[in-house]
Amino acid sequence: MKCDCRDAGRLAAAIEIWLKQHVKEAGTVGGIVGLSGGIDSAVVAALLKRAFGSEMLAVLLPCGSMEKDKEDALLVADTFALPCREIELTPAYEAFLRAFGTPLSPMASANIKPRLRMNALYALAQTNGLLVCGTGNKAEILMGYFTKYGDGGCDLLPLGDLLKCEVRSLARFLGVPSEIIEKAPSAGLWEGQTDEGEMGMTYEEIDMYIATGKGDEKVRTRLERMKNVSAHKRAMPPVCIPF
């Protein structure tokens, strides 16, 4: 059993209108996105190009990254003729780790990468009058599958209400290369890492539960636990009101 996806053409049109509205309200000229080589960033980049033409920027931000991810990101940039640049963050990442003197935990070290990328995107956004567009979809946001103040740090979330099946449908509609659509989703934090492997369930299972509330007990339990423990990621920091 699969959940129904909304029409890709209508989604594309609605998101383009939404992007233009928010960019106009912010007094900016377009949007910027980090191009990872994955499907979500490819879809956001394609939508930004449709909405703003040359007034957008796709940025490759390698940080100890796999060469295949860079190749896939460049394929997306070439496919859509994106305004694009590359900022090599590996030296900054290595210098940052050395500054601590003692090793950090593996996850803390890995999460520095998306936080460095967030800094780079905002520096370029502020310089060029752009809004930072995140690539998180509905499943990732609900489960907290993003780095707080890293890839979760953005101005707009164009895909934030889309199930993963809808992102794939939209990718096909927009003309994202098939190898990007079929690639195993990964944050690229370390060699062999995949989203589904780390989350312990497939996107199909997650989509089904979000859309219908149906799923086996293991999926329901894990999803609800991840949603609850990640609630702080989706909220502004609480303010203490002493009295």
pLDDT band at residue 219, thresholds of 50, 70 and 90? confident
In a domain, 241, yes or no: no
For the stretch 156-213, pLDDT in tens is: 999 999 999 999 999 999 999 999 999 877 666 656 667 777 777 888 989 998 999 8
Which are the catalytic amino acids?
40, 140
Residue 71 has what pLDDT? 96
Q: Which region holds residue 149: left if phi is over 0, alpha if psi is between -120 and 50, else beta?
A: left
Rounded to the nearest 5°, which phi and psi values hold at 145? -85, 70
Q: Which residue has the tokens 């209108």?
A: 17
Residue 199 has what pLDDT? 77
> Contact 198/47 with Cβ under 8 angstroms?
no
Cα 45 to Cα 173: distance, rounded to the nearest angstrom: 14
In a domain, 240, yes or no: no
In a domain, 2, yes or no: no
In a domain, 70, yes or no: yes
For the stretch 121-135, pLDDT in tens is: 999 999 999 999 999
Residue 96 has what pLDDT? 97
The range of the structural domain enclosing residue 46 comes to 8-234
CATH number at residue 101: 3.40.50.620
pLDDT band at residue 5, thresholds of 50, 70 and 90? confident
In a domain, 3, yes or no: no
Nearby residues of 188 by Cβ (< 8 Å), 6 or more positions away: 36, 37, 38, 65, 66, 69
> Contact 228/185 with Cβ under 8 angstroms?
no
Cα 84 to Cα 73: distance, rounded to the nearest angstrom: 10
For the stretch 7-50, pLDDT in tens is: 999 999 999 999 999 999 999 999 999 999 999 999 999 999 99
Cα 6 to Cα 102: distance, rounded to the nearest angstrom: 49
Counted domains in the chain: 1
In a domain, 52, yes or no: yes
pLDDT band at residue 3, thresholds of 50, 70 and 90? low
In a domain, 46, yes or no: yes
Which of 159, 164, 145, 161 is CA-nearest to residue 206? 164
For the stretch 43-94, pLDDT in tens is: 999 999 999 999 999 999 999 988 999 999 999 999 999 999 999 999 999 9
For the stretch 95-130, pLDDT in tens is: 999 999 999 999 999 999 999 999 999 999 999 999
In a domain, 204, yes or no: yes
Residue 190 has what pLDDT? 58
Residue 232 has pLDDT above 90, yes or no: yes
